[in-house]
Amino acid sequence: MLQSTTQQQSYPASGKTALPVLDLSLLDGCAAEQQQFIQQLRVAARDVGFFYLTGHGQSEQRQQHILQLAKDFFALPLADKLEVQMVKSPHFRGYSGLMAELTRGAPDIREQFDIMAEQQQPKYSRNNPDWLGLIGPNQWPGALPQMQQELLSWQQSLSDITVKLLRALMLALQQPADALDSTISSGPYTHMKLIRYPGQTQGSKQGVGAHKDPGYLTLVVQDEHSGLEVETEQGWVAVAPLPGAFVVNIGELLELASNGYLKATMHRVVSPQAGLERFSCAFFMAAELNATVPLLQLPSHLAAEAKGPASDPNNPLFYQVGQNVLKGRLRSHPDVAAAHYSAPQTASQ
């Protein structure tokens, strides 16, 4: 029997975290506090690419409520979950079972429920780009009617936080705060997952394989069990849960746009020990699907500190955001690709 996830808590001791801890509320303080936060953000986003975020305005009680929604959903009978199986959605929304998603070609041992913005499906036209298939309605389980309103509200709250962070990052790079606003003018591209990781068996321990996130920013709410790990110069480091804090990481699109100054870091999730299960909620924010992302012109003293490879403004990730998002989804969900998409070259990259 699975042990209760309220037992055997693994929170880090106060002041002993693997990542920097940043307080977003400083941005609403005096000028000195704002500059303190921007400086801390610049260092964390450049040197680590991961940090804890406190002072974000979302109570720990609300976070725990979202994790309880995840537990309630994954506890449903399989038939109820299969009613909203992702393979039924060309928009990559809904439930996917254990080993249904691939990371670097290997199956992840997790159950998931994916949503994005609630949208109308565009009218079909032969001239539509393939990535317009990402736009459409979510699937919602009939057995939990409250999920729709609560998850969409939560997703919007996280979107607002990431927009605030994105603008602060632009200030940290000595750019105008609105330097990337044109890429999210109609609202950023958002994607959220409720996730359940079962305990380890004798097989793979890959909760999620090592990868970088492709977009701008990611926010993660963890339960009390460790599992998330970040690759550092000292090796893989466990990111223990910190009550009330989000874990934030930089995506590849920001790394490219900053010419490698901001760091998109490899990370993974190791399955919990046998007899335990782990729940989390991951939120991903990126540029609009039809956006053209600029290559930021950093001042010389910041450009000299850039650690990543030089960025090519002709890289399709800058001007084919939608197509690159679609490629990633097709690669990760081959069952959805086979059911709804007919261009195998899109999924092969």
Summarised one tens digit per residue, pLDDT across range 187-214 is 999 999 999 999 998 788 999 999 999 9
Q: Which residues contact 135 (CB under 8 A, 6 or more apart)?
A: 91, 119, 120, 121, 122, 289
Under-50 pLDDT residues of the chain: 1-15, 344-349
Cβ–Cβ under 8 Å, residues 241 and 144: no
Give the largest CA-CA distance in the chain: 59
Question: Which pLDDT belongs to residue 5?
Answer: 32
Q: List beta partners, residue 286.
A: 189
What is the average pLDDT score of the chain? 91
User: Tokens in use for 13?
Assistant: 């001791």
Q: Which residues contact 30 (CB under 8 A, 6 or more apart)?
A: none
Q: Which domains does the chain have, with CATH numbers?
A: 21-347 (2.60.120.330)
Question: Which pLDDT belongs to residue 318?
Answer: 80
Question: Which pLDDT belongs to residue 311?
Answer: 75
Q: List beta partners, residue 94.
A: 114
Burial class of residue 301, CB neighbours in 10 A (0-12, 13-18, 19+): exposed
- According to DSSP, the β-strands at 50-54 and 21-23 are parallel
Cβ–Cβ under 8 Å, residues 79 and 47: no
Question: Which pLDDT belongs to residue 124?
Answer: 79
Residue type, 343: A
State whether residue 229 is helix, strand or coil: strand
Cα three-residue angle 117-123-127, rounded to 5 degrees: 110
Closest residue by Cα to residue 287 from 219, 217, 189, 162: 189
CA distances from 298 to 92, 146, 163, 214, 293 (A): 36, 46, 20, 21, 15
